[in-house]
């Protein structure tokens, strides 16, 4: 799937020039081919055999893989990133790639990993946070972290993740960097309802929650989680709207609580949960005038970038330049920043948009 307006490269460069906000990016899923190649090389040097070629690890443009196949890929990528040196490298590469796509605010999410004799979950998180700090010093980007609960790992593991997040709240330097908890993982494994008590605990501790909901048809668990009124942002939300396989009750709840949706078009189409771009639920939710944030999900696995996602959405849903500008600005409201930080970010994004407008008269934001 291409942004066919990339034949109109001007439009893609327009999308690239926008100061953007990325709120749904899984660290390991965001690895570019270049990074994966370097990781493979490092493993070969260690003497590892039977390593898959990079091409097998990413979904080539136009190719699709089922969700099940994507989760097998994550397993392979996790083997390539099973040490702190690799964790540092991938965090650095992913942040820099978002920087070169003009992402000004990035909420990365990742599942803390424990590898015997190599790293504890705390080592893993410390390394990601240290690298974020380093990259923020030299690049024009703000990065925050969500710790991911993987729904296939069980409730004890989830409880442990929330405890880890809590431990960081008293840390002098790291405390502002972890801004929430993500719930993700293979939607076909585990029952989300089992996690509600842990998520309520996380909320009590002040964490904001971004939850993958209804990525596949799952009305019962989606309803239970929404009724618990704990979700601050919905990942995907594909099967929520009545007209995309959800129900009136789900739709009403999401509208009632005004829960923003993180929309990941290429991910949904390539993994086959949405038939084609035109059928993507983004169109339905726009008609509801509901808060939406365009995101990448796994830019490596799905061979995309945030600019390309903007381009695809604009082309498919007839979004004007001023619609895209509005989306860049309104995304600030959906971040997990404090009121004051949101204000600062909004000002800096608006400033940048104004100077872009000044630099290029055709950048009117009205056509
Ligand atoms: C659900 C997903 C996902 O945590 O190792 N992940 N969970 N749906 C998706 N749609 C395609 N894409 C990624 O990044 C990889 C992990 O993110 C979650 C999965 O748990 C995957 O193992 P980290 O950095």
**Ligand 1 pocket check for 185: Cβ under 6 Å:** yes
Q: Quick check: is 367 in a domain? A: no
Q: Is the pLDDT of residue 5 over 60?
A: no
Residue among 36, 72, 74 to mutate when testing ligand 1 (max atoms within 8 A of CB): 74
Atom number, ligand 1, closest to the C-alpha of residue 212: 1
Nearest CA to ligand 1 atom 2: 185
In a domain, 79, yes or no: no
- Residue 184, ligand 1, Cβ within 6 A: yes
Instruction: Strand 178-184: give its sheet, edge to edge.
Output: 20-26, 103-110, 142-150, 178-184, 208-213, 233-236, 261-263, 292-294
Predicted local confidence at residue 366, as pLDDT? 47
In-domain check, residue 317? yes
Contact between 267 and 296 (Cβ < 8 Å): yes
CA distance 40 to 73: 14
Is residue 243's pLDDT more than 80? yes
Q: 215: Cβ below 6 Å to ligand 1?
A: yes
pLDDT surpasses 50 at 23: yes
| 367 contacts 320 by C-beta, under 8 angstroms | yes
**R_g of the chain, CA atoms, integer Å:** 20
| Boundaries of domain holding 151 | 9-32+93-359
C-alpha 263 – ligand 1 centre gap (Å): 15
Q: What is the pTM of this model?
A: 0.96
Band the pLDDT of 183: cuts 50, 70, 90. Answer: very high
CA of 213 to the centre of ligand 1 (A): 13
Mean pLDDT of the chain: 94
Q: Which residues are catalytic?
A: 215
Residue-wise DSSP of 320-344: -HHHHHHHHHHHHHHSS--HHHHHH
Residue 316 lies in a domain: yes
User: What's the pLDDT score for residue 205?
Assistant: 95
Per-residue model confidence (pLDDT) at position 362:
45
CATH code: domain of residue 313: 3.20.20.140
Residue 51 is assigned to a structural domain of this protein: no
From residue 272, how far is each of 34, 174, 238, 267, 277 by CA, in Å? 26, 38, 11, 8, 11
In a domain, 52, yes or no: no
pLDDT given at position 286: 98
Q: Under a CB-based contact definition with an 8 Å cutoff, are residues 321 and 366 in contact? A: yes
**Ligand 1 atom nearest to 26, measured from its CA:** 14
Spatial distance between the Cα atoms of 178 and 182, rounded to a whole number of angstroms? 11
Confidence of residue 3 (pLDDT cuts 50, 70, 90): low
Q: How confident is the model at residue 1 (pLDDT cuts 50, 70, 90)?
A: low
Is residue 130 in some structural domain?
yes
In tens, the pLDDT along 301-322 reads 999 999 999 999 999 999 999 9
48, part of any domain: no
Q: How many domains does the chain have?
A: 1
* pLDDT, greater one: 7 or 356: 356
Q: List the beta bridge partners of residue 212.
A: 235
């Amino acid at each position: 799937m291409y942004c066919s307006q990339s034949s109109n490269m001007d439009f893609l460069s327009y999308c690239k020039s926008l100061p953007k906000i990325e709120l749904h990016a899984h660290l390991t899923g965001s690895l570019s081919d270049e990074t994966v190649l370097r990781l493979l090389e490092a493993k070969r040097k260690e003497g590892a055999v039977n390593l898959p070629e990079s091409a097998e690890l990413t979904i080539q443009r136009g190719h699709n893989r089922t969700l099940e196949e994507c989760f097998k890929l994550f397993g392979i990528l996790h083997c390539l990133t099973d040490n702190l040196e690799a964790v540092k490298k991938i965090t650095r590469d992913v942040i820099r790639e978002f920087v070169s796509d003009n992402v000004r605010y990035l909420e990365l999410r990742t599942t803390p990993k424990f590898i015997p004799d190599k790293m504890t979950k705390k080592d893993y998180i410390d390394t990601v946070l240290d690298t974020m700090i380093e990259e923020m010093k030299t690049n024009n980007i703000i990065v925050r972290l969500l710790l991911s609960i993987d729904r296939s790992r069980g409730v004890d593991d989830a409880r442990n993740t929330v405890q880890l997040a809590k431990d960081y709240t008293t840390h002098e330097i790291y405390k502002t960097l972890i801004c929430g908890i993500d719930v993700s993982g293979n939607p076909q494994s585990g029952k989300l309802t089992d996690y509600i008590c842990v998520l309520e605990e996380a909320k009590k501790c002040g964490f904001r929650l971004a939850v993958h909901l209804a990525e596949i048809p799952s009305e019962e668990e989606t309803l239970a989680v929404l009724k618990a009124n704990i979700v601050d942002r919905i990942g995907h939300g594909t099967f929520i709207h009545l007209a995309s396989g959800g129900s009136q009750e789900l739709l009403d709840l999401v509208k009632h609580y005004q829960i923003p949706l993180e929309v990941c078009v290429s991910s949904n189409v390539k993994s086959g949960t949405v038939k084609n771009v035109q059928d993507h639920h983004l169109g339905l939710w726009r008609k509801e005038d509901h808060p939406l944030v365009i995101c990448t999900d796994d830019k490596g696995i799905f061979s995309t970038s945030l600019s390309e996602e903007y381009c695809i959405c604009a082309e498919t849903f007839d979004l004007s330049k001023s619609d895209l500008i509005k989306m860049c600005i309104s995304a600030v409201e959906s971040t997990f920043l404090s009121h004051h930080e949101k204000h600062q970010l909004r000002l800096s994004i608006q400033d940048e948009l104004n100077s872009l407008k000044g630099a290029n008269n055709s950048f009117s934001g009205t056509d």
